[in-house]
Structure 1
Amino acid sequence: MLSFLFKVKISAMSKRKSKESSSANGECISQVQRILRERFCHHHATGKPFGIEHQYRHLLELLKRTTVHGESNSALIIGPRGSGKTMLLNHVLKELMEIKQIRENLLEVHLNGLLQTNDKVALKEITRQLHLENVVGDKVFGSFAENLAFLLEALRKGDRTSSCPVLFILDEFDLFVHHKNQTLLYNLFDISQSAQTPVTVIGLTCRQDILELLEKRVKSRFSHRQIYLMNSFDFKQYIKIFKEQLSLPAEFLDESFAQKWNNNVQHLSEDKTVQDMLQNLFHYSKDLRSLHLLLMLALSNVTVHHPLITASDLHEASKQYRMDSKANIVHGLSVLEICLIIAMKHLNDVYEGEPFNFQMVYNEFQKFMQRKAHCMYNFEKPVVMKAFEHLLQLELVKPIERPSVRAQREYLLMKLLLDNNQIMDALQAYPNCPTDVKQWATSSLSWL
């Protein structure tokens, strides 16, 4: 009897320990998901940047002169999308914020050309980010320059050296060029040249010809500092970036779990199949956003019961990353819509890519139906037209020219936006596709 009670007690204790362990693992996994997703989505700085040490030092020195010595500056960070412009800036800001004097005084204003589409919206956003809504109140200003000068004056604590330095970061800088008279850029650059308030303006753009787009008066007030970025790292450095992006920080809540996770990341980086997969991605695109997307897809498989990323997770993520979005749309089409796409494919083959209209597609479809009428229900022309319009809405078919009011829908010239390989790959994966339809797609000759 005592033996039985002892066994029951041991069983209860082990269950309690198992629940506690499961709860601790769950907390660790949610922390891993939060830290890494934040890193992948927001380009948070980890480690030192590769291949851009010179640009890093240049930008750091530039911002230090503003934040420590009260100098005003302006600069442009120029590079293709995904070259690391935002990441470079985040690295520099992270290092600056470790200095107490800067952390307590520096004010940042982040503007984006996609969001702040005119100067009025931009000024409202500057006021909000500087927390000066109450100061401005219902005041009416004669000009944009007067309004901006008032905002910066409100931040002053005394002389120039004791004023709060303000860092303006303009993402998608080239879109601000299209604002009326480039008033925002003119005033920001004008203030950055004056000795009133320490202001630095940093623009991020992928336009190499950005200076040619600036008005003469704006260009004359710009400091002409340009920092160019290109993805110049090699594959060894790419592997190192892979490890750093996936590794957990030293201050992670569970040290033993972090050690286990980081050891697993090290093993993955040495795995031949993972290296081959990363090399394919590296040759396809050196854009670090592509790597972040791949890692994000792999991270989505991590759960309490599957706590570590495996090589198969990365390979599955690679397949998802390379998946053709248009082919995926085809998987959700009806058999009638599939038939119309095959008819267009045959028209492309016969007429060597020349545009077609709905009537030609309908005639082609009718010929197939007459030969293979037993495999499908015979659709009326208005129903076929509705299916064709659905393909147009999905942007699998595109009109060659803008339709006029008088033009008949049946005779508008169209172009198919799928190539033969995409169509055939989609058909292979299409569930319950009639055999006759597949055979019609693979036949080299149209049913003329």
Structure 2
Amino acid sequence: MGKRKNKDSSSSLGECIAKVHMTLRARFCHHLPGKPFGVEAQYKNLMDLLKQTAVHGESNSVLIVGPRGVGKTMLLKSVLHELKEVKQVEENLLQVHLNGLLQTDDKVALKEITRQLQLENVVGDKVFGSFAENLAFLLEALKKGNRSSSRPVLFILDEFDLFAHHKNQTLLYNLLDIAQAPQTPVAVVGLTCRLDVLELLEKRVKSRFSHRQIHLLNAFNFGLYMEVFQQQLSLPEEFPDKRFAQEWNQNIESLCKDQTVVDILRKHFNFSKDFRSLNMLLMFALSRVTVSKPRIQSMDLLAASRLHTMDSKANILHGLSVMELYLIIAMKHLNSIYEGQPFNFEMVYNEFQKFIQGKSNSMHYFEKPVVLKAFEHLHHLELIKPMEGTSVRTQKEYQLVKLQLDSSQIMDALHKYPQCPTDVHLWASSSLE
């Protein structure tokens, strides 16, 4: 009987852990947007603007401006999430999402608008004289009932500044021009990280823009960052197992008072205030939660922090051959001799030969073409970089290059290198100190 009870308890815990993973992962990936922190005024401003279009049928245009990772997209998602709770908005509002990185010209953008509005059948084989006629036809097709009523359309232009580089800025001109027309309710929302974006607009486009801008800045302090950390990891009230949720949230609250956790978060806060970076850190920590270890501990965050801040170039060194490590150390030795000046393969090979003949305890012999092949592999891995202005006709043995690693990265990689030969360690220590 006791065994059965333990089995049921384990099964229940497993279900709780699975639910925790599902709930928090969805939150970290922004599938469930909540109200953003510290931008209440901007939130209200954007909500009022979009409500005017979605509910009252008034056209608007606005730019959301701020550095990358500040939460521009999250702000917009949160506003739309709340706006869709209004039945009238959910049934009528049409959304078109465009991205300047994907829709590189106006023809591609128009095809994407047609696809997202599901109007391929309406357009059919019709031939239009201009882009403006095609766009106007698409919007005309959205009208329902009499001509005075039509469904509101929200155009979201991510990387807005890239649309300003399109030929004649035709798409922007026509969207903003339609936004001024009384018939079709249209809201144009641009997201950009460029503060000078208005200077990129042509005069005719700028005159049709409302000049409304919502600015987001990384102005929050570490206290608010800690609040976000606690909120992101806390389970909601509607979590199925109330007792488990209470214990989980109490654990998160105690983590916020743990000095180790505070130090880790302060380091990340000073490095980047990007909430996506914080969510990635929390995702790594959450991945360590299992049935056998059903709580996040400070050591989980420490391990997650090390994984999150791992040096990608130093990681590449872990997969190099011993020969390639020899060349890396030879290059670093040259860096210290010539004080960071560029070098070529012949110089590296000579330094390598000195080590093989004089400093190595064991006898090694590598033919020069083999060493050159290893050198070229380091070039392909971008661990060494050719100097700008180097002639293409220069033989590869004499092309000047620079090493893209510093001594701390090399030493760190050597300490973690599996079964690293002793002579490599000794040579590295002698040449790097």
Query: Where on the TM-score scale, by shorter chain, does this alignment land: which range?
Result: over 0.9
User: In the aligned structure 2, how far is the partner of 1:163 from the partner of 1:393?
Assistant: 57
The alpha-carbon distance between structure 1 residues 190 and 376, as it changes in their structure 2 partners (threshold 3 A), is: farther
User: In the aligned structure 2, how far is the partner of 1:166 from the partner of 1:199?
Assistant: 5
1:390 matches 2:372? no
Per the alignment, residue 196 of structure 1 pairs with 183
The alpha-carbon distance between structure 1 residues 418 and 137, as it changes in their structure 2 partners (threshold 3 A), is: same
SS of the residue 2:273 aligns to: coil
User: In the aligned structure 2, how far is the partner of 1:330 from the partner of 1:66?
Assistant: 55
Per the alignment, residue 28 of structure 1 pairs with 16
User: In the aligned structure 1, how far is the partner of 2:431 from the partner of 2:289?
Assistant: 46
User: In the aligned structure 1, how far is the partner of 2:124 from the partner of 2:341?
Assistant: 63
Per the alignment, residue 310 of structure 2 pairs with 323
Higher mean C-alpha deviation, range 154-163 or range 191-200 = 154-163
Deviation at 1:19, TM superposition (A): 4.3
Per the alignment, residue 333 of structure 1 pairs with 320
Letter of the structure 1 residue corresponding to residue 26 of structure 2: E
Give per-residue Cα distances to partners, 1:229-273, cap 9 Å, x unaligned: 112111221111111111222233333333332222222222222
Give per-residue Cα distances to partners, 1:364-416, cap 9 Å, x unaligned: 11111111354352111111111111111111111112665422111111111
User: In the aligned structure 2, how far is the partner of 1:142 from the partner of 1:407?
Assistant: 54
Per the alignment, residue 249 of structure 1 pairs with 236
Per the alignment, residue 412 of structure 1 pairs with 399
Give per-residue Cα distances to partners, 1:53-110, cap 9 Å, x unaligned: 1111111111111111111111111111111111111121121112111111111111
1:165 matches 2:152? yes
Letter of the structure 2 residue corresponding to residue 353 of structure 1: G
User: In the aligned structure 2, how far is the partner of 1:384 from the partner of 1:400?
Assistant: 21
Unaligned 5+ segments in structure 1 are: 1-9
- Asked if structure 2 preserves the Cα contact closer than 8 Å seen for 1:44 and 1:87, the reply is no
How many residue pairs match? The answer is: 433
- Asked if structure 1 preserves the Cα contact closer than 8 Å seen for 2:93 and 2:154, the reply is yes
User: In the aligned structure 2, how far is the partner of 1:159 from the partner of 1:61?
Assistant: 27
Which of 61, 76, 81 is the equivalent residue of 2:68?
81
Deviation at 1:169, TM superposition (A): 0.9
User: In the aligned structure 2, how far is the partner of 1:278 from the partner of 1:345?
Assistant: 34
- Asked if structure 2 preserves the Cα contact closer than 8 Å seen for 1:182 and 1:215, the reply is yes
1:37 matches 2:25? yes
User: In the aligned structure 2, how far is the partner of 1:213 from the partner of 1:184?
Assistant: 14
Root-mean-square deviation (CA, aligned residues, Å) is: 2.0
Per the alignment, residue 176 of structure 1 pairs with 163
The alpha-carbon distance between structure 1 residues 122 and 35, as it changes in their structure 2 partners (threshold 3 A), is: farther
- Asked if structure 1 preserves the Cα contact closer than 8 Å seen for 2:105 and 2:166, the reply is yes
User: In the aligned structure 2, how far is the partner of 1:369 from the partner of 1:412?
Assistant: 24
The alpha-carbon distance between structure 1 residues 256 and 129, as it changes in their structure 2 partners (threshold 3 A), is: farther
Unaligned 5+ segments in structure 2 are: none
1:141 matches 2:128? yes
Give per-residue Cα distances to partners, 1:34-66, cap 9 Å, x unaligned: 2322222237422x3222111111111111111
Deviation at 1:220, TM superposition (A): 1.7
Deviation at 1:152, TM superposition (A): 1.1
- Asked if structure 2 preserves the Cα contact closer than 8 Å seen for 1:160 and 1:198, the reply is no
1:438 matches 2:425? yes
- Asked if structure 1 preserves the Cα contact closer than 8 Å seen for 2:329 and 2:431, the reply is no
The alpha-carbon distance between structure 1 residues 181 and 291, as it changes in their structure 2 partners (threshold 3 A), is: same
Residue correspondence of structure 1 range 239-278 to structure 2 within 5 A: 239-278=226-265
1:105 matches 2:86? no
Letter of the structure 2 residue corresponding to residue 38 of structure 1: A
Deviation at 1:304, TM superposition (A): 2.6
SS of the residue 1:418 aligns to: coil
Letter of the structure 2 residue corresponding to residue 183 of structure 1: T
Per the alignment, residue 5 of structure 1 pairs with none
Letter of the structure 2 residue corresponding to residue 213 of structure 1: L
- Asked if structure 1 preserves the Cα contact closer than 8 Å seen for 2:390 and 2:400, the reply is no
User: In the aligned structure 2, how far is the partner of 1:26 from the partner of 1:160?
Assistant: 58
Deviation at 1:361, TM superposition (A): 0.9
Normalised by the length of structure 2, the TM-score is: 0.94
- Asked if structure 2 preserves the Cα contact closer than 8 Å seen for 1:160 and 1:197, the reply is no
Per the alignment, residue 3 of structure 1 pairs with none
The alpha-carbon distance between structure 1 residues 161 and 342, as it changes in their structure 2 partners (threshold 3 A), is: farther
Per the alignment, residue 4 of structure 1 pairs with none
Residue correspondence of structure 1 range 240-389 to structure 2 within 5 A: 240-375=227-362, 377-389=364-376
User: In the aligned structure 2, how far is the partner of 1:445 from the partner of 1:253?
Assistant: 57
The alpha-carbon distance between structure 1 residues 132 and 28, as it changes in their structure 2 partners (threshold 3 A), is: farther
Per the alignment, residue 119 of structure 2 pairs with 132
Letter of the structure 1 residue corresponding to residue 204 of structure 2: R
User: In the aligned structure 2, how far is the partner of 1:38 from the partner of 1:205?
Assistant: 25
Letter of the structure 1 residue corresponding to residue 325 of structure 2: I
Give per-residue Cα distances to partners, 1:199-251, cap 9 Å, x unaligned: 11111111111111122222221111111111211122111111111122223
The alpha-carbon distance between structure 1 residues 249 and 161, as it changes in their structure 2 partners (threshold 3 A), is: farther
User: In the aligned structure 1, how far is the partner of 2:151 from the partner of 2:243?
Assistant: 43
Normalised by the length of structure 1, the TM-score is: 0.91
The alpha-carbon distance between structure 1 residues 121 and 287, as it changes in their structure 2 partners (threshold 3 A), is: same
User: In the aligned structure 1, how far is the partner of 2:324 from the partner of 2:75?
Assistant: 48
SS of the residue 1:258 aligns to: helix
The alpha-carbon distance between structure 1 residues 99 and 376, as it changes in their structure 2 partners (threshold 3 A), is: farther
Per the alignment, residue 121 of structure 1 pairs with 108
User: In the aligned structure 1, how far is the partner of 2:123 from the partner of 2:113?
Assistant: 12
